[in-house]
Structure 1
Amino acid sequence: MIRHTYNSTPKNQFVNTILTINNLTKKFGSITAVNNLSFSIEKGNVYGILGPNGSGKSTTLGIVLNVVNRTSGDFHWFDGSGTTHEALKKVGAIIERPNFYPYMTAAKNLELVCKIKGVASDKVHEKLDVVGLLDRKDSKFSTFSLGMKQRLAIASALLNDPEILILDEPTNGLDPQGIHQIREIIKKIASEGTTILLASHLLDEVEKVCTHVVILRKGESLYTGSVDGMNASHGFLTLRSQDMSALKGALEGNKAFGTIKTEGDSLIVYLNEPMDASEVNKMLTDKGIFLSHLVKRKESLEEQFLELTKNK
């Protein structure tokens, strides 16, 4: 079973830290959208903030991008020596639907963004190529599909060669082909050294694209760590015996076993450490408990996510 883990970065180790969030809280009246959230983002990784709609993902991004005021806690970019305004010049972000002039071409729209951002326009063709739109550089924005509009928005966010790219639900509303294209672009950008932070309610997205994940439910962090760490769950057992109370008693208090719960006429037992079914069977037999049913399964990432985010 997943254990709650939290990243912490000593104050003297900022070399590879892009963003540090400490005990961040945001309240809207009586509603707590973000609750005592802490995590850090290290250079060169792809981080996913994962959670159901309303879990606080967009609010968290809004706070670190200075468009939402925090209630308490703090955050800082990079080594924390400069202002947030200065730091955000090294950040690229898309947190709303793409908003370009419909009757201007893709290239002209990006040239305008360059003027607004105060960066040279010689990056326009390069960034259009990154998102696979160079052949449509002279096409009007109004002729683009939703997926193409989103790809143009990503190109726009890359114009200042940011150290980190922030994306809020980047594949929302897209068809399967559009989703695949955006995910491939994210992987490509990450492979070239840009750190990425994306918010998503799609487990599949995070599993396929991200190296690290922060799972939120009702504004609280339930898990912070690597995606591989979630996949490294030792699995769980489904057990049955004639004397179920004796079986449960034999399992409780053993550090090898985590959560134990009853489902129907079976016990579901999560493993804290690697253990073969045969080892469990022998251990219980030695205690005089004989099993009528024993199955070991690997807990899927989806099962872990649903277990973590269900209402409790």
Structure 2
Amino acid sequence: METILKITNLHKKYRKVHAVNNVSVEIKKGNVYGILGPNGSGKSTTLGIVLNVVNKTSGEFEWFDGTYSTHDALKKVGAIIERPNFYPYMTAEDNLKLVCKIKNIPYTKVFEKLELVGLLDRKDSKFKTFSLGMKQRLAIASALLNDPEILILDEPTNGLDPQGIRQIRDLIKVIANQGTTILLASHLLDEVEKVCSHVIVIRNGVTLYQGTVDGMVASEGFFELESENLAQLESALQQLPQIEKIEKDENKLLVYLKSHLEPGELNTLLFKQNITLTHLVKRKNSLEEQFLELTKH
């Protein structure tokens, strides 16, 4: 699979602040990547560096396997890393035509992209009359005018109401299904889990995880167990090699695994020790639980 962007040992320091700390990432064609981290974690700085608007301190990055200079490569990239910035008294169509003129893109792309983002019926409306969600969709249309191979979005649903968030998420899925690689930065776990195939977790400038979203949540999970004698149950569980840790939660035990164990197998092992379970449920860790586990240290 073709590599769109490769980042190697990237650093960015602002005096005492190490905003990006030895980040290495590889973005492959055709996937939807989420850079996930709390506000101030280094997500936007990383995107700014690869888009040539922030100077790196050290490290390397290359676009399209190094076959293009950064200047030429960025002609194949669409990006929104700040709030949409259009002329308020110009129509949606005229604003996009101006972008086409600056970037030497055929005007026919304007109607194609307005239709894609669901704004074709508002092409003659002035930008100042648009809602925040509509402004964001127009910005995405603008970033897609050059048919980029990768679309980069920084907090694309920030400040939107629930309907606007839903529209942007659905639009991202449509764009991805057309074959465009997408890289979005977000602090919203729900956003990444719903639209991304891959996730890169960053905290304090450091990469804590990178891989598939499914891979991040595919831990061995945990059991919820109840029995009439919790002390006896806990004592028996502590003898099992598959158990990593046990936590008490009101009238039940949360049993976390370090290796695979089927519910039926656990039930049989406990029954042989004369322990009858009144409640047994196996759960998978959510992306939120995995994220909190990664970032708590």
- Return the TM-score normalized by structure 2: 0.89
Structure 2 partner of 1:279: 265
CA deviation after TM superposition for structure 1 residue 238, in Å: 4.9
CA spacing shift, 1:289–1:34, aligned 2, 3 Å: farther
Match of 1:52 in 2: 38
For residues 143-190 of structure 1, what are the alpha-carbon distances to aligned partners after superposition, in whole Å with 9 as ceiling and x for unaligned?
Answer: 111111000000000011000000000011011111111111111111
In angstroms, what is the RMSD of aligned CA positions? 2.3
State how far apart, in whole Å, the 1-side matches of 2:21 and 2:103 are. Answer: 33
Of the structure 1 ranges 230-239 and 59-68, higher mean CA displacement relative to structure 2 is found in 230-239
Change beyond 3 A, Cα 1:243–1:23: same
1:26 maps to a residue whose letter is K
Matched, 1:63 2:53: no
Structure 1, unpaired ranges of 5+: 1-14
| 1:105-139 Cα deviation digits (max 9, x unpaired) | 11110111112222222211101111001111111
- Within a 5 Å distance, the mapping from 1:10-21 to structure 2 comes to 16-21=2-7
> Over residues 68-116 of structure 1, what are the superposed CA-to-partner deviations in whole Å (9 max), with x where a residue is unaligned?
1122221111111321111111000000000000001111101111122
**Matching of residues 1-312 of structure 1 within 5 Å:** 16-238=2-224, 240-242=230-232, 247-248=237-238, 250-251=239-240, 254=241, 256-257=242-243, 259-260=244-245, 262-263=247-248, 268-283=254-269, 295=280, 296-310=282-296, 312=297
Counterpart for residue 5 of structure 1: none
2:180 counterpart letter in structure 1: T
Q: Measure how far apart 1:47 and its partner are.
A: 0.5
Aligned residue identity for 2:28: E
Q: Residue 241 of structure 1 contacts residue 291 of structure 1 at CA under 8 Å; is this kept in 2?
A: no
- Distance across 2 between alignment mates of 1:244 and 1:133: 59
Cα–Cα, structure 1 residues 76 and 269, in superposed 2: closer, same or farther, change >3 Å? Answer: farther
Return the TM-score normalized by structure 1: 0.85
CA deviation after TM superposition for structure 1 residue 262, in Å: 4.5
In 2, the alpha carbon distance for the partners of 1:43 and 1:264 equals 44
Q: In the aligned structure 1, how far is the partner of 2:206 from the partner of 2:276?
A: 39
Q: Kindly state the Cα deviation for residue 241 of structure 1 after the two structures are TM-superposed.
A: 3.4
Count of paired positions: 291
* Amino acid in structure 2 at the alignment position of 1:148: M
8 Å CA contact retained: 2:217, 2:284: no
CA distance in 1, matches of 2:232, 2:260: 26
Taking a change above 3 Å as real, the CA distance of residues 90 and 294 of structure 1, as seen in their structure-2 partners, is same
Change (3 A) 1:303 1:79: same
The separation in 2 between residues aligned to 1:105 and 1:88, in whole angstroms, is 27
